[in-house]
Amino acid sequence: MASGSWDGSLKLWSTKSPATPSSGSIFETTVGGKVFGMDWVENTLLVATSGRKVHLFDVRKSGEAYAAVSTQQRESTLKYQTRSCALFPNSEGFALGSIEGRVAIEYVEENDITAAQGKKKYAFKCHRVDDTVYPVNAVAFHPGGTFATGGCDGSVVMWDAKVRRRIEERSDELGMGGLRE
């Protein structure tokens, strides 16, 4: 299990041992900003922090100890604060939701080969009603590659990242606090 804090600390905890905050975590580091969102798929941990920073960690167990190696730190392509984040099911990329009602799709490896394969980062507007912009509170991926966003407008929208289209929108006064996979 991973936890991130507004003091900039990132900790990994074992769910198998009865660790308490006083007994310590199994791994600890700092990310240099308030942690606003995290997602973990297999060995990849995504952390979105203040200052529009995005951190990627490779988390693996080596013997009895865990280690989290920072593989990337980059600035978000979004202009405003990140509110939510989620990794693709295959960990090749991630989505970031922001307070400006936008979602950015970015790829872990960004080079000429991935660009030729059509894997270019992009951003789009969502969760807007007339001239009112709502934050994107939650992002969650389906194993098939589609994903959903939940916004402060009370709606959940399903998207297809490959064709860059909205699939469906539900706004049945859901009272969005979070979106579960």
Q: How far apart are CA 84 and CA 147, in angstroms?
A: 13
Please tell me whether residues 127 and 170 are part of one structural domain. yes
Q: How far apart are CA 131 and CA 155, in angstroms?
A: 16
Q: What is the pLDDT of residue 181?
A: 46
Q: What is the pLDDT of residue 114?
A: 60
Q: Residue 86 sits in a domain of what CATH number?
A: 2.130.10.10
- The tokens for 16 are 């198998």
Q: What is the mean pLDDT of each run of 10 residues along the chain (181 residues)?
A: 90 71 72 93 92 89 63 91 94 94 90 64 91 94 92 91 86 56 46
Q: What is the pLDDT of residue 113?
A: 56
Q: How far apart are CA 137 and CA 153, in angstroms?
A: 10
Please tell me whether residues 65 and 87 are part of one structural domain. no
Q: Residue 70 sits in a domain of what CATH number?
A: 2.40.10
Q: What is the pLDDT of residue 28?
A: 81
Please tell me whether residues 89 and 168 are part of one structural domain. yes
Please tell me whether residues 67 and 114 are part of one structural domain. no
The domain tally of the chain equals 2
Please tell me whether residues 58 and 96 are part of one structural domain. no
Q: What is the pLDDT of residue 137?
A: 93
Of the residues 24, 56, 75, the one at which a domain ends: 75
165: containing domain: 76-181
Residue 169 · residue 176 · CB < 8 Å: no
- The tokens for 172 are 């049945």
Please tell me whether residues 155 and 97 are part of one structural domain. yes
Please tell me whether residues 171 and 90 are part of one structural domain. yes
Q: What is the pLDDT of residue 105?
A: 94
Please tell me whether residues 64 and 136 are part of one structural domain. no
Please tell me whether residues 119 and 135 are part of one structural domain. yes
Please tell me whether residues 91 and 31 are part of one structural domain. no
Please tell me whether residues 100 and 140 are part of one structural domain. yes
> Closest Cα to residue 105, out of 134, 129, 130, 136?
136
Please tell me whether residues 129 and 55 are part of one structural domain. no
